[in-house]
Amino acid sequence: MLGPLDSGTMGTVLVVASDRHRLHAPLAEIESSGFQAPFEHPGRADAIHAALAADDRFEFAAPDDAGLAPIEAVHDPGLVAFLERAWQDYNRAHPGTHDVVPDVFRMDALRDGLGGFVEPVSIDAELGRWCFETTTPITEGTYAAARAAVDIASTATDRVLGGAGVAYALCRPPGHHAPHGLYGGYCFFNNAAVAAHRAAATGSRVTVLDVDYHHGNGTQQIFYRRADVQYVSLHGDPVRAYPYVTGFADETGAGPGQRTNRNLPLAAGTDDAIYLGELERACEAIAGFGPDLLVVSLGLDTYRSDPICDLAVTTEGFARQGELVAALGLPTVVVQEGGYDLATLGENTKRFLLGLAS
């Protein structure tokens, strides 16, 4: 269990970061039936890093190497092994490919009446076996970048378990769309799930509060049947918003995890007043669960000018979000997820973190 909070260096927030995220740099994403410049690109993490580094209220630490164990605690080892070799295998079959993207997906229905799923052998088919959509290319450095993001989340969690009140994991690529055995939604390894499981393994009760615009289907799935980890999410209503098939209010957990899952779907155009009211309801659910430690999946894509989302949160709203979360009084690991308006991403992240540390 956790000891008393360490006030740390007065007034500073610990940021765990690495420039290895730049190793994941796709040329394009296939979205809305066309190739376009990726929304999820290295400039995002660089912009956040620059905004925090320019402010002496943040101090920086490099991640420790956490190894494979924390990843395989929440993901299928088959997915991990596949991601390690996928780019090389694909380029043996198709030399000179920069962005590796599946052109088939799981075609279970093609085997109706044939006696169940067959594990594919061809790399072309393997891609579709592990991936659920087209906006998440694998590049030569993707696996290394995704491993570094897990190292960052693990290190930030260790610092909070060690007494830091707040630590921010500047993870990229993001993670919350990756369930136990799939990748997609710009996500390969679920950094927030790694953080939550790592803390839960020490005996802590843990809540993951997900404020990214998109429902964290991966995190929800990983903890859906667990009693020791609660998942609470505010997100665009899946009736209109990606990932479309999860995030409904009636998904409340199962088995030992009954009532440990809470989804709060939001209407298009939701502004600060409505958002913060829903966040208060989320915080009530968290207080009812009574966690020892909080993991925040921080998405800034609820921002009013985000290029791929439709909520109307303001920069000031992110500061208020941080303050509301701070009122829970919990040791908190903040894990970076989405946010695609490059001009405001750094400032919005900074305001959330300063609100949280206030």
So which residues are the catalytic ones?
Answer: 177
Residue 186 in contact with ligand SP5, rule: CB under 6 A:
yes
Phi, psi of 167 (to 5 degrees): -135, 140
The answer to whether residue 301 forms part of the interface with Zn ion (CB under 5 A) is: yes
User: Which of 319, 318, 297 lies closest to 233, judged by CA?
Assistant: 297
Minimum gap (Å) between residue 338 Cβ and Zn ion: 3
Tokens of 35: 């190739």
| 297, two tokens | 């999946």
* Smallest gap from residue 204 Cβ to ligand SP5 (A): 25
Point out which residues pair with 16 in neighbouring strands: 61, 169
The helix (H) or strand (E) run that includes residue 127 is helix 123-130
214 in contact with ligand SP5 (CB under 6 A): yes
- At 355, list the tokens: 């609100």
Residues in the chain: 358
Coil/strand/helix, residue 207? strand
Supply the DSSP symbol for 176: T
Give the H or E element holding residue 193.
helix 191-200
Nearer to Zn ion, 90 or 132 (CB): 132
Alpha carbon dihedral 348, 222, 289, 303, in 10-degree steps, equals 20
CB nearer to Zn ion: pick between 230 and 302: 302
242 binds, among ligand SP5, Zn ion, none (CB under 5 to 8 A by kind): ligand SP5
Per-residue tokens: 330: 């919990």
Of 61, 60, 2, 93, whose CA–CA distance to 330 is shortest? Answer: 2
CA distance 87 to 259: 40
200-229 footprint of Zn ion as x/- string (CB under 5 A): ------------xxx---------------
Span of 64-72, 182-190, 266-274, 317-325 interacting with ligand SP5 by CB under 6 A = 182-190
Q: Whole-angstrom Cα distance, residue 166 to residue 357?
A: 7
Closest to Zn ion by CB, 228 or 337? 337
Among 126, 210, 212, 228, binds ligand SP5 (CB under 6 A): 212
Among Zn ion, ligand SP5, none, partner that 31 touches (CB below 5 to 8 angstroms by kind): ligand SP5
Site size toward ligand SP5, by CB under 6 A: 16
Q: Which is nearer to Zn ion, 11 or 269 (CB)?
A: 269
Determine, following the binding rule CB under 6 A, whether residue 299 of this chain makes contact with ligand SP5.
yes
Contact stretch for Zn ion (CB under 5 A) within 134-142, 290-298, 316-324, 337-345: 337-345
DSSP 261-312: EEEEEE-TT-BHHHHHHHHHHHHHHHHHH--SEEEEEE--TTBTT-TT---B
Within 117-176, which residues bind Zn ion (CB under 5 A)? none
Residue nearest ligand SP5, Cβ-based = 338
Choices 47-55, 92-100, 144-152, 185-193; region in contact with ligand SP5 by CB under 6 A:
185-193
How far apart are alpha carbons 314 and 295 in whole angstroms? 22
Stretch of 6-14, 181-189, 253-261, 348-356 contacting ligand SP5, by CB under 6 A: 181-189
Residue type, 38: P
**Least Å from the CB of residue 114 to ligand SP5:** 32
- Residue 129 and residue 122: Cα distance in Å, rounded? 10
In the complex, the smallest distance separating the C-beta of residue 33 from ligand SP5, rounded to whole angstroms, is: 8
Binding segment toward ligand SP5, per CB under 6 A, in 68-76, 141-149, 184-192, 231-239 = 184-192
Chain residues in the site for ligand SP5 (CB under 6 A): 31-32, 135, 174, 177, 185-187, 212, 214, 242, 299, 301, 308, 337-338
Chain contacts with Zn ion (rule: CB under 5 A): 212-214, 299, 301, 338
